[in-house]
Amino acid sequence: MANVAVIGAQWGDEGKGKVVDWLASRADIVVRFQGGHNAGHTLVVGNTTYKLSLLPSGVVRGKLGIIGNGVVLDPDALFAEIERVRAQGLDVGPHNLRIAENTPLILPLHPALDRAREAARGEDKIGTTGRGIGPAYEDKVGRRSIRVCDLAEPATLSAKLDELLLHHNSLLRGLGAPEFGKQPLLDALLALAPRLLPYASAVGEVLDAARAEGKRVLFEGAQAVMLDVDHGTYPYVTSSNTVAGNAAAGAGVGPAQIGTVLGIAKAYATRVGSGPFPSELFDDVGRMLGEKGREFGTVTGRPRRCGWFDAAMVRQAVKIGGVDGLVLTKLDVLDGLPELKICVGYKVDGETMRRLPAGMRAQAAAEPIFETMPGWPGSTFGARSYGELPAEAVKYVRRIEELVEAPVMMLSTSPDRDDTIALRDPFAG
């Protein structure tokens, strides 16, 4: 058995959806192990575009999909997504989608608190999507969560709602936001039970059986290493651990089952929302990258900030994330640029650093140290072998490998699933 975990090696939006779709055709099971419906994957299959937020990407390929306990699940968002993809011809139901029975739920009070707090921050807002992800994770570690399994126990559900509302209504009251009553929430959850419980499963046992049968499992991460709640540009991060090490805990398996770890990175850099971005561009090149790369968030629609590839940051993500090899996406967006720059380190208060520091002030003060390389006049769009790439493009890829200290295993040269150069089969171990 050779399993694969896919994580983002930048600030998210690296093109994980296409890569996971390509890998899913070679896997038997695809597992989402963290995040919520704040993450988005776009998959292009033939003439059909699928936009997924909660569903594991393997459902597009007819594979068994699993939502692990490391995810926080909004049931309304899940069922809306299921109906949307069913309308596009996909077959999704309890027969091919399992949800960990201990998965925490996002309730309507979570996005309400999320938005109220973000509004109270004013200009100091974090840039949350407002979907309740952070408050739901707070409840998980605060031992207040309503979990999928609680829907089968009405008495447990009622008692847990009392504690949950004691906490949330106090916060909402302090923020001047409307409070929530217990009975409407309880009624909604009891009505939800017969719809959601058929999907509930002890997914750790499912995955252990898959291991015994030698099946291939693909662990699908959301967001990226530099948005990890511990290791990212805190506090401008997501509320979960996005590194490959969390794939085990978030899916209910042992760490030895994770297998090869692929880090996905764009051939340049982007970021959505607030937070440090040392290699960000504010000129015509930055605008060109945004327009040509169609840099708008799958979930939020917000335009992404664009900049040069930050090798120092990706090297940091490789080390922290346990990345065995990179998948470099959107190489074709760089076509035609006369020269390219790569960030190889930072100047912070006159000191040269090879990594992004942890402190907020130091991160904000970090100035990029660039290395310049020639661009290429030819096209990489749609290339499916190294031989089709301009020599300068190959040199650019090779230099990235040297700087991040990890090999490039795959290259993506268009949104099309098959426009992929596979230099090594990740499932080969």
Residues with catalytic function: 13, 41
- For helices 109-121 and 133-141, give the axis angle rounded to 10 degrees: 110
Q: Please provide residue 269's backbone torsions phi and psi, each rounded to the nearest 5 degrees.
A: -130, 145
Q: Which residues pair with 370 in a beta bridge?
A: 343
Phi/psi class of residue 13: alpha, beta or left (left: φ > 0; alpha: ψ in -120 to 50)? left
Element (H, E) at 80: helix 75-87
Give the CA distances from residue 174 to residues 16, 179, 182, in Å, rounded to whole numbers and listed in that order: 39, 10, 19
Sequence-separated (6 or more) residues with CB below 8 Å from residue 103: 67, 68, 69, 71, 72, 73, 147, 148
How far is 83 from 89, CA to CA, in rounded Å? 10
Q: Dihedral of CA 35/43/411/269: which sign?
A: negative
332 contacts 371 by C-beta, under 8 angstroms: no
How far is 160 from 156, CA to CA, in rounded Å? 6
Residue 355's identity, in one-letter code, is R
224 contacts 326 by C-beta, under 8 angstroms: no
Q: Please provide residue 348's backbone torsions phi and psi, each rounded to the nearest 5 degrees.
A: -125, 110
Name the residue among 79, 78, 36, 41 with its Cα closest to residue 57.
41
Residue 202's identity, in one-letter code, is A
How far is 219 from 65, CA to CA, in rounded Å? 10
Name the one residue in this structure whose structure tokens are 């089952």: 257
**Tokens for 370?**
């660039």
